Structure 1
Amino acid sequence: MKLKTSLFLLTAGLLSSAHAGEVMVASGKGVEPAVQPAGSEKSIYDKIWGLATLYKSDDNPVLQEFALQGRLQLQWADGSSDQGDYGTADRPDEVLWGDLEVRRWRLGFKSKWFRQFKLEGQIDVSPNWDPEFYGKIYDLNLTWTPSEAFNIGIGKYKANFFSVEQATSSKEILTFERALLSNTLFTGELTGARVNGKIDNLIYTAGVYAGDDQREFTEFDAGVVYQAGIGYDLTSVTGFDKTIVKFDYQYSDDAANAGGGANYEHAFSFNSTWEKGRFGLFTDVLGGTGRGSVSDVWGFHVIPSYFIADGLQLVARYQYASGDNDGLRLQSRYERLASDLTDGGRGDEYQAVYLGLNYYLYGHKLKLMAGTEYHNMSGGGDGGDFDGWTTLVGLRMFF
């Protein structure tokens, strides 16, 4: 009954929102609320989201803006495979609200100081306040932004500009979960420093991080993770609304133990972003060279999308991954929860196809999602084969 109620509320919200009168338009970041004409009355969404801005004044030379920020992402999943069923009900009780999983819940602030500095941060909130409200510091950093060409910051970050999916915030990703290799090579939330900027059409990023993913900040006893990226904006020569190609590189020294990605000495991503009108496409070729018992991995994924109506977006993804000596492992959130899983879900070749719909009530700030994905893992050596489907529905919002 709880499951039926949850699905009913999601469906009812989707249908009723179609009559809310909020106009949506395609933009470089998916879909955003249409710009209000000068002097027109703000929409109910504008008024609600505007409450998060507690102070704003361009005339104040010290503090220009202070606002609250946060995100809440709820979802429900049901999966079946030749190695058993799995789904939201198999997730730990501390992340569940009835039949729904609290995928992410974060609260924090953002602020602008002295016209050139940004100070912001968020914490992960424990969904049931178990054992307490505060889970961990997700990010907390200070950035100096003197120009578009040069920005430098220090603090705790999600080390996320490696690969096109990780570089896209969970607030704006088009699928429920990132691809298997994107998660495999990701290192975590780390303490360090980064620089980035855009000079004409050239885009660059670089960062150095302590190699331990802690609840608060680094203890400086777990090696170093280095990241660098170079890209080029080709929009002016392609005729698209947006065209960016980028190469990202990551190096982790022998002592780094941040997350799965730090097990790979070298990791790379060659990715691109294409947008024109209602159409969008992300591509990514990525891989990593393992150390010790960790095998080399490589793969690719493509994510096309198309707005089939205002605010209604069709999204697909195909992903392929290969790992020597059973060097791959099924995604931990759902697939690895299969009731009769063999050999921990390991294998040497993985493929998955995702198809979903996103409905934007207020751009990425408030959207409903539904999708299904087919997964196949081929086992080599001692690995086990896996063949299954996962269906998901959910709501995502941020301010």
Structure 2
Amino acid sequence: MTLQMNRNSILRRLAITAVTIPAFLSFADAGEYGKAVIDDKSPISSSPWSICSLFDYSTLYEGDGLIKEVALTGRYHGQYISQTEEEGGASNGFHNWQHRRARLGFDVEFAGNLTFVSSINISDGSGSSFGLTRGVFFDDWDELFVKWEPSDDVYVLVGKTKQKITMENMESSKRILTVERSQIVNEVIASDYPWGALVGFNLFGIDQEVGFWLTGGEVDSTGERWKFPSPDGRGGFTYRGNLPVSDATQLYFGYQFTNNASGFANGSGNADSDHGSQYEHVAHIGTKSEWGKLGLITDVIAASNRESSGPIAAGNDTWGFVVLPYYNVTDKLQFVAKYAYMDEGRQQRYQRYFVRQYLDGYHTFYAGFNYYICGQKLKLMGGYEYATVNEFTTGADIDSSSWVFAVRSYW
């Protein structure tokens, strides 16, 4: 009897839940009928099921009222690196699987061209080289913002998001063509997204964006890394734009200012965490060209007034460039090559697994293939990078070879 009563109680609760959730969503839709969606891309399809069909299930709800759509978002980026390094006759290296990125979030589209975006980093607190093995589930916010697009040419964004300066950094990690961005890019960009307000617009045929930023963040009372914006931090400014210069080529340019007192302070100010670049000024000019199956990305980057770190004094400058050709062998297979140079700075991935050294004259050569199983939503990447550089203080030669294999997925 007790078992039967418990079963009936469970069934009643499930029935109430099944009725309540659609009713709530319909109420939130301001009287319009909403519908739960199982396959948001092709509810009725004659094509056979494949692993790529899994990515059609990310939309949780669609409606015609206040709430237009609710979607589950996320990404997983894992990579295996096998590296050897020679420095002054001594050899070292590592062979390691890295949980490079793991994120979950929700996108909510409202009426009136208003979108809410949230994304959290999932980590164990020990860094992306290990990850997903211990510690808290919520590491910190990746992005958290509201975006309003009143027209095709204008948008306003407020919240935590990326400063899209340099060619490789303006592209999402979901779609970059090499496993890691270039060393000069990782040297000059902010290591964490700041909080800010952006306005995008088209003027004189140029797509432009102006941003104002807070580069200090606060943790909560328990010490968790929420990194909410802090009035005790410093600030920054960005401007970027792009325009076509021919049928095949788009020109990009950008400038980033971080108030670091000419390198004698950092963006955190008196706040708990720093969300700004280590350089006061960063500027770049780049191009993206496509001629049929062949493409080319170029970028020239300059930065000045670095924060002091190790043997690098406050106010130090650097510069570099990136040349990245690619060729689409088939619809799914792509060949990518890259040469990048950085004048001075700290050691970056792939070479930074051990103690991050300070370097001078950083040359890297990369070649690899990308295989698009489900387009950008599921792809395999593999390549080889050779790096040669001098140690900043002693001038000792450092040469490294890195084989890298990666899986990239998002939904």
Q: 1:239 to 1:128 in 2, by over 3 A?
A: closer
Q: Distance in 1 between matches of 2:320 and 2:149?
A: 35
TM-score where L is the length of structure 1: 0.79
Q: In the alignment, does 2:179 pair up with 1:176?
A: yes
My pick for the range that moved more, 101-110 or 219-228, is 219-228
**Secondary structure of the structure 2 residue equivalent to 1:194:** strand
Unpaired runs of 5+ in structure 1?
A: 1-34, 90-99
- 358, 379, 385: which is aligned to 1:346? 358
**Counterparts in 2 of 1:1-399, with a 5 A limit?**
40-41=46-47, 43-45=49-51, 47-57=53-63, 60-83=64-87, 84-89=91-96, 100-126=97-123, 127-128=131-132, 130-159=134-163, 161-187=164-190, 188-199=192-203, 201-212=205-216, 215-216=225-226, 217-234=228-245, 238-240=246-248, 243-253=249-259, 254=261, 256-257=266-267, 262-291=277-306, 293-294=313-314, 295-323=316-344, 328-331=345-348, 333-337=349-353, 344-399=356-411
How far apart are 1:131 and its partner, in Å? 1.2
Deviations 1:83-126 (A, max 9, x none): 3332343xxxxxxxxxx211100000112101310101100012
How far apart are 1:209 and its partner, in Å? 1.1
Deviations 1:120-166 (A, max 9, x none): 1100012435211111111110011111211001111122x100110
Q: Distance in 2 between matches of 1:123 and 1:162?
A: 22
Q: Distance in 2 between matches of 1:73 and 1:213?
A: 26
Unpaired runs of 5+ in structure 2?
A: 1-40, 124-130, 219-224, 269-273, 308-312
CA contact (8 A) 1:346 1:384 kept: no
**Secondary structure of the structure 2 residue equivalent to 1:166:** helix
Q: Distance in 2 between matches of 1:43 and 1:276?
A: 34
**Secondary structure of the structure 2 residue equivalent to 1:227:** strand
Deviations 1:154-209 (A, max 9, x none): 111122x1001100000000101111111111112111111123457311011111
**Secondary structure of the structure 1 residue equivalent to 2:229:** coil
How far apart are 1:383 and its partner, in Å? 4.4
Q: CA RMSD in A?
A: 2.2
Deviations 1:51-72 (A, max 9, x none): 1101123xx1311111000000
How far apart are 1:372 and its partner, in Å? 0.6
- The amino acid of 1:225's aligned partner reads G
Deviations 1:297-317 (A, max 9, x none): 001011110011221000011
Structure 1 residue ranges (4+ consecutive) displaced by more than 6 angstroms after TM superposition? none
- The amino acid of 1:345's aligned partner reads Q
Alignment identity in percent? 29
Q: Distance in 2 between matches of 1:200 and 1:71?
A: 37
Q: 1:260 to 1:151 in 2, by over 3 A?
A: closer
Q: Distance in 2 between matches of 1:392 and 1:384?
A: 25
**Secondary structure of the structure 2 residue equivalent to 1:165:** helix
How far apart are 1:256 and its partner, in Å? 4.1
Q: 1:384 to 1:261 in 2, by over 3 A?
A: farther
How far apart are 1:80 and its partner, in Å? 0.7
Q: Distance in 2 between matches of 1:260 and 1:376?
A: 30
Q: Distance in 2 between matches of 1:303 and 1:111?
A: 35
CA contact (8 A) 1:226 1:251 kept: yes
> Which has the greater radius of gyration?
2
**Secondary structure of the structure 2 residue equivalent to 1:363:** coil
TM-score where L is the length of structure 2: 0.77
Q: 1:211 to 1:266 in 2, by over 3 A?
A: same
Q: Distance in 2 between matches of 1:47 and 1:380?
A: 50
